Amino acid sequence: MHGSTTRLAGVASAFLFFLLLFSATAATGSGSTSSAPTTLDDLWRFLDRDRDGKWQPHEAAEAILLLAGEADADADGALQRSELEGYLRGMSEEELAERTEMFGELDRNDDQRLGPREIPEELAPLITGLDADGDGQVSLAEVLEAPHLDDPKAMFEAELLSLLQEFDGDGDGTFSLSDVPRRHREAFRPEFERFDRNADGKVTRAELLEMVAEELAGATFEVDGTLAEMTGVIGASTPGRVLELALEHPAVETIVMRTVPGSMDDESMLRAAAMVRRLGYDTHIPGDGEVASGGTDFFLAGVRRTVGTGARLGVHSWAGLDEEGADLPRDHPEHAKYLAYYRSVGIPDRFYWFTLEAAPADGIHWMTSEEIAEYGVLSD
């Protein structure tokens, strides 16, 4: 018990230092990807960055850093209750406005309901799941009342469960490879084997949800002396884990990115990357490493950036709930946060436009050595 108390005390004192260090740079995003806390339950979810039902000290500390950077309206370095309440209220209003706007764009016949033909295929798994009264249509009220509409985990689960429903011809809650159309079976076999956790030839709902939990658990750091090996998808927990890395392992100098396929939350990725840059970490991808999408952006935060022979760096357009970066005009305000980030790490604007055009959001472009050199991806 004494050891636990000492550990928390150390975190608390170090946190005060980091609060001062990051107060000017923690707010790299608007925070609009999180549901606005207006009740105790919502505030808990705000602190629970990875939404696993609990929060660790560094996870909550990162959330407080975010608030300290964004909610301090008079910029006096202290957060008053009225400022916090105003910030949370503003987040709530902003999210409601965004949902209302999205609903209006989809509601082509202006009947205040979304029918199956009005819901884009890519949004169908998530939006159709909001039909609380089971009438086959989704109302504006159902959209506004849905918790965490933009939660990547909810979207991922909805997509996989929709897949299960599509292939489950006999309605027993499972599907086998033989349920997949013959022309697609061989191409789908690797994915099926990944889904079939116990290798019994059937994929169940429980197996799909277990895979979602593992995929979205968030990137982890394994420390060995001055190196911290990073593996996994960047998500809401990543800024807190970078903060923990700095506080608990001060000897670390280089983040070795082994397998980082991307980011499920670009706002969190940008905050985590800003911390990496501020702390002066180097980044390295080993020869057998593969980093893509938001992982590539995170790699660019390194003060010194190196790769081993054979390492792969992938890029593509980012995508939101109802839009893709490549589809927006170049003067659209959504581009600003990405351009600002690239400029902060010394990467030219043209690299950003290159990533949008290199591949669509559901594709990937592996950069050539010539492209890596052209855009100054490496520091040497």
Same domain, 231 and 362: yes
Q: Is the pLDDT of residue 5 over 60?
A: no
pLDDT value at residue 46? 66
Q: Is residue 139 part of a domain?
A: yes
Domain boundary among 163, 195, 216: 216
Whether 43 and 190 share a structural domain: no
DSSP 315: E
Residues 254 and 362 in one domain: yes
Instruction: Provide the pLDDT for residue 73.
Output: 78
239 with 323, same domain? Answer: yes
Please state, in angstroms and rounded to a whole number, the distance separating the CA atoms of residues 256 and 375. Answer: 21
Domain boundary residue among 216, 234, 260? 216
pLDDT over 80 at 121, yes or no: no
C-beta neighbour count of 62 within 10 angstroms: 31
Considering only residues 217 and 138, tell me which one the structure prediction assigns the higher pLDDT: 138
Give the chain's mean pLDDT.
78
Residue 274 lies inside a defined structural domain of this protein: yes
Instruction: Return the bridge partners of 284, or none.
Output: 256, 306
- Does position 117 have pLDDT exceeding 60, yes or no? yes
Q: Rounded to whole angstroms, how far apart are CA atoms 345 and 25?
A: 13
Domain check: are 234 and 362 in the same one?
yes
Q: Specify the pLDDT at position 207.
A: 78
User: Is residue 380 in a domain?
Assistant: no
285 and 346 housed in the same domain:
yes
Count Cβ neighbours within 10 Å for each residue of 337-368 and write b for 16 or more, e otherwise: ebbebbebbebeeebbebbbebbbbeebbebe
Look at residue 160 in the predicted model and tell me its pLDDT.
67
Q: What is the pLDDT of residues 132-149, one digit of tens each?
A: 777 778 888 877 777 656
Strand partners, 313: 291
Q: How many domains does the chain have?
A: 4
Top pLDDT among 162 and 336 is at 336
How does DSSP assign 177-188, residue by residue?
Answer: GGGS-GGGHHHH
**Predicted local confidence at residue 126, as pLDDT:** 64
Q: Over pLDDT 70: what percentage of the chain?
A: 75
> What CATH number does residue 179 fall under?
1.10.238.10
Q: How far is CA 56 from CA 17, 18, 35, 48, 214, in A?
A: 18, 16, 19, 8, 18
- Interior angle at CA 237, CA 234 and CA 238, nearest 5: 50
| Contact partners, residue 211, CB within 8 Å, separation at least 6 | 160, 194, 195, 197
Report whether pLDDT(366) > 90.
yes
Note whether residue 363 is domain-resident: yes
Structural domain including 127 reads 109-150
List pLDDT tens digits, range 247-288. Answer: 889 999 999 999 998 887 788 899 999 999 999 999 999 999
Q: How far apart are CA 217 and CA 235, in angstroms?
A: 8
Residues 141 and 158 in one domain: no
- Tell me, yes or no, whether 246 lies in a domain: yes
| H-state helical runs in the chain | 2-22, 40-47, 57-70, 81-106, 124-127, 140-145, 152-167, 185-195, 205-215, 238-248, 266-279, 294-299, 336-344, 349-358, 369-374
Let me know whether 364 and 276 are in one domain.
yes
Reading phi first (left if > 0) and then psi (alpha if -120 to 50, else beta), residue 320 is in beta
What 3-state class would DSSP assign to 214? helix
Kindly report each contact of residues 206-213 with a partner whose C-beta sits within 8 Å and lies 24 or more positions away, as own/partner.
208/157, 208/160, 208/161, 208/163, 208/164, 209/157, 209/160, 211/160, 212/153, 212/156, 212/157, 212/160
- 102, part of any domain: no
More confident residue, 305 or 28: 305
Closest CA to 179 of 203, 148, 146, 153: 203
CATH code assigned at 319 = 3.90.226.10
Helix (H/G/I), strand (E/B), else coil: 263 = strand
Task: Judge if 224 and 338 occupy the same domain.
Answer: yes
C-alpha distances (whole Å) from 295 to each of 41, 185, 378 are 31, 31, 15
Residues contacting 108, CB < 8 A, separation 6+: 118
Flag whether 100 is in a domain: no
Quote the crossing angle between the two packed helices 266-279 and 336-344, to the nearest 10°. Answer: 20
Regarding whether 183 and 232 lie in a shared domain, the answer is: no
Q: Are residues 247 and 207 in the same domain?
A: no
Residues 358 and 222 in one domain: yes
Q: Is residue 101 part of a domain?
A: no
pLDDT for 93: 76
Dump pLDDT digits (tens) for 31-86: 333 344 445 655 676 676 666 666 777 777 777 777 777 777 777 777 777 776 77
